[in-house]
A and B are shown apart, each in its own frame.
Chain A
Amino acid sequence: KQEVTQIPAALSVPEGENLVLNCSFTDSAIYNLQWFRQDPGKGLTSLLLIQSSQREQTSGRLNASLDKSSGRSTLYIAASQPGDSATYLCAESTSGTYKYIFGTGTRLKVLA
């Protein structure tokens, strides 16, 4: 059974800290992995997508890595800001370009 696990479930940090969110997946036949941000009561915003042939992707203060051999991905957020407070979801696709398996997310709170 395909599973995606995210640790920690919740995280509270002071503003300015660098932080790492973890995602592990059980199916090594990964096609791509996507990180999303979800704000309360709102939809999902795609942050970064890593193809199986890639090791990492960067966008601004965000960096996501992918290690297929260990079944792990990390999302690194540099110099965190209160506006980064949200739930971060990772999702794995193993069946072509559709049907993602989502983790339950990490709820991040950045304190001013």
Chain B
Amino acid sequence: NAGVMQNPRHLVRRRGQEARLRCSPMKGHSHVYWYRQLPEEGLKFMVYLQKENIIDESGMPKERFSAEFPKEGPSILRIQQVVRGDSAAYFCASSPEGVTGYTFGSGTRLTVV
């Protein structure tokens, strides 16, 4: 069991470009969660998805950010027109149906230059 896989591990984008972060949940896990860790801050919840459904996106910025978890393939967190303030570590976690607690991936560190 490979665990929660996130790629890329590091991503550098220039201001105005798009960033796509991928997350493959653990085998058998149907729930995916995205968190963001800004420098010197705690992790903040962004969005909770199940296959083909966004369950809770209350932590997502209103503009430029979107997330999906298609029927096939990984979950994608997409940031359009990135700005320097988007520089952070983005963590994905997954869980099976009805189970308490997460398994986290190793994160994607986004740097906007």
A interface with B by C-beta (< 8 Å): 4, 31-32, 34, 36, 41-46, 49, 51, 89, 91, 93, 97-105
Contact = CB atoms under 8 A, between A and B. Distances in A.
9 contacts: A34-B102, A46-B101, A46-B104, A49-B101, A51-B100, A89-B42, A91-B43, A98-B48, A104-B42
Contacts of B105: 43
Contacts, number: 62
A49 B105 CA distance: 18
B43 A89 contact: yes
B91 A49 contact: no
A4 B42 contact: yes
B109 interface: yes
A97 B45 contact: no
A46 B42 contact: no
B22 to A, nearest CB: 15
Contacts of B95: 97-98
Contact of A102 (B33, B44, B48, B100): B44
Interface residues of B, number: 29
Nearest to A45: B104
B97 to A, nearest CB: 10
Nearest to A46: B101
A32 B48 contact: no
A32 to B, nearest CB: 6
Contacts of B4: 43
B106 interface: yes
Interface string B8-50: 0000000000000000000000010101000011111100100
| Residue from A4, A31, A43, A102 whose CB has the most chain B CB atoms within 10 Å | A43
Given A89-B42, A100-B45, A105-B42, 9 more contacts: A32-B101, A44-B91, A44-B93, A44-B104, A98-B55, A101-B45, A102-B35, A102-B43, A104-B42
